[in-house]
Structure 1
């Protein structure tokens, strides 16, 4: 679970990232400080720093005299982040399986249980989807939490959030919830068994998620 942001800059960064990922700030929307201050209650200084941080992470675009804006959604960008995830996340998982101990295993089991329970209580409200996404994110973080390379984990997390933005914007959350729960259980079982097949399973899982979104771009080829 995320710790509470320690500063106004961190809180503003978290708030804006969440709104961009959820689509509350839509693609290509201009991010003007005055509007954001009225929307969030944060001052211009922390908001400016938050936007600079988000630009470095790829969640915001900065263009000279035009200022900051939300990135567009494109097939090329989705393929980029998907293939990048398929390249780096299985490696982070391999390192986690080598280094992980009992606490790592316990968090995988706990986060999976919370995810499955959330699926069982699903509702059509957007607020439920926000809670589900938080539980889903916790599970994927748990898988690689024992990876000793902090920068690699952070990069994986940024790519995960970029993928989530596409899923949310394209309304591509799976309609087959039971199959989704089973897929996460199977992935967790391989990881907890330290089975090398877990790497390919994770790679396939990432590709399956992206394929649903790519289909909405008219692309039938899996990543």
Structure 2
């Protein structure tokens, strides 16, 4: 059985699309998925990356593309009333259902649907109350008195992701190899199927290509 870590932040439309697509991509394989919420903004900041929302034309394209992909893949995707937004309340709500930094598929899916279906404000207080009720049975027994633990888990997850080379979400790690983005899912499937390409030199050779840009000092 393969163990796959799925790093996600609920603010990412592609995390929602990958979440919906992944069961079909992995159909027929023996695997176990670990869903790990991380703070995308912290990962982007480490690489001085403004993200798609920081480049206005790219923001426009990203939203169009993600919305079309939701249609094309049949899972739907409605841009929330405001985006980007601060995902910390959602990340901590999800991790209040965890004692080790991972959440189950029900928790991940409930929060993702809260954001990406219906086109509403992801941080609307009334909607957050409804979300909390939907997750109530998933909460750790000590969740009410342990508000610091979700914060610590999120920090640890994000630090772990960074140490493993995660620079964005969705990202998938299996056996020390990292696959990034919705469009990496066919590549992930090929690896899990034992494609001989992964036994050759190309995986390590690709990032060893020298840069043709002058170094920044």
TM-score above 0.5? no
Q: Please identify which structure carries the higher helix content.
A: 1
Q: TM-score, normalised by structure 2?
A: 0.26
Q: Looking at both structures, which has the greater relative contact order when contacts are Cα pairs under 8 Å and sequence separation is at least 6?
A: 2
Q: Please identify which structure carries the higher strand content.
A: 2
Q: TM-score, normalised by structure 1?
A: 0.25
